[in-house]
Structure 1
Amino acid sequence: MLAAADRAHYVTTKEELADRYGRGPRPIRRRVFWVTVATAAILSVAGLSWLTVSNSLDDVGFDETGYELVDARTVTVSFQATPPAGTSFACAVQALDEDFGIVGWRVIEYPASEEITRALVETIPTVAQATTGTVQSCWAT
C-alpha cells in the first residue's frame, strides 16, 4: 500500500496536464483569427450567392425549334424565348456552313412584353451556302 505522501505524487493537476500535453489557455489572438476567417468565409459565400441570384434575374432562356434553308443566301431560324416579364431583350442568331463557320449573323432586339414565352422566327442573310441556323445567345437589354 502506498503512503499518503506517495499517493500525492500520483495526483496530476490541470496545470501539469497542460504542460505535459501542450494544452493551455487559448490566447485571444487565436480566437480573433478564427472569428475573422469564419466571417470572411460567410461574407464570401453570401456575396457569390447574391451575384448568382442577381445574374439569373435578367436571364433570357431560349429553345431552338427549327431552321429552314430558304435559298443559297437565306436561312430562317425558329425559336422560343423566355425573358423576364416586362423586360426588353436581344438575341444573336447565326447561320453556319458545313464546317460550322459563321456565314450569317444578326442581333435582333425585342420590345418588352408581359408574355412569358414568345415564339419567334428570324431571317438571316448569308454570304455563302448555310447548312444550319441557330440562336447563339439571348440577353436582357
Structure 2
Amino acid sequence: MSTPESMTSPTLVTRYGAPKRRPDRRGRRLTIVLGLVLAIVATGIVALVLNRPTLTPKDLGFSVHGPSSITVDFDVAVPSGMRGRCAIQALDERFTVVGYTEVDVADTDAAPGTAHRVGLRTTSLAVSGGVDRCWSLP
C-alpha cells in the first residue's frame, strides 16, 4: 500500500508530474457563481433573439418581359413600428441568380401586409422571381 509521502517522491514526480491540487472552497464557489452568471446572460440573449418580431414575406407572382427584365409581385407583413428590407431575386432555368435588388419596407396603417411590385434588370432570361429573404432594420 502506498502512502502520501511515496506519491511525492522525486522519481514519481519526474516521471508523472506533481499531483494536482484540488480547488479550495473559495475557488469552487467562484466557479459556480461565474457559471450561473454566464447561464443567466445566455438565457437573456436567447430570449431577446427569439422574441424579436419578424418580417413575413409572401410571393404573389412574377412576369418575365424578355431576357433583360422581370417584374416581381410580393406581399410582406411588417410588425407595427418596424422597418425592414427584402432581397428580391430572379433565377434562370439552372437556378442561377440573374437579377437582384433590395427593397425597403415599412409598416402601414392600411393593412397588415403591404403589396409591392418591383422591376428587376436581368443578365439573361429569367424563369422565376421572388423574395429571397427579409430582415429588420434598426
Please classify the TM superposition score into its range, dividing by the shorter chain length: 0.5 to 0.7
Q: 1:130 aligned to 2:126? A: yes
Partner amino acid for 1:139?
Answer: W
Match among 38, 41, 64 for residue 40 of structure 1 = 38
Percent of aligned pairs with the same amino acid = 26
SS in 2 for 1:123: strand
Q: 1:102 aligned to 2:97? A: yes
1:83-114 deviations in Å (ceiling 9; x for gaps): 12233332221111111112111222245422
Partner amino acid for 1:102?
Answer: V
**Partners of 1:92 and 1:100 in 2: how far apart?**
16
Q: TM-score, normalised by structure 2?
A: 0.66
Partner amino acid for 1:116?
Answer: P
Compared with structure 1, are the counterparts of its residues 92 and 32 closer, same or farther at alpha carbon in structure 2 (3 Å cutoff)? closer
**Partners of 1:123 and 1:63 in 2: how far apart?**
17
Q: TM-score, normalised by structure 1?
A: 0.65
Contact 1:86 1:112 in 2 (8 A): yes
Contact 1:87 1:113 in 2 (8 A): no
The unaligned stretches of length 5 or more in structure 2 are 1-23
The unaligned stretches of length 5 or more in structure 1 are 1-26
RMSD between superposed Cα atoms in Å: 2.3
Compared with structure 1, are the counterparts of its residues 49 and 129 closer, same or farther at alpha carbon in structure 2 (3 Å cutoff)? same
Report the number of matched residues: 112
Structure with greater Cα Rg: 1
Runs of 4+ in 1 over 6 A off after TM superposition: none
SS in 2 for 1:86: coil
Contact 2:90 2:122 in 1 (8 A): yes
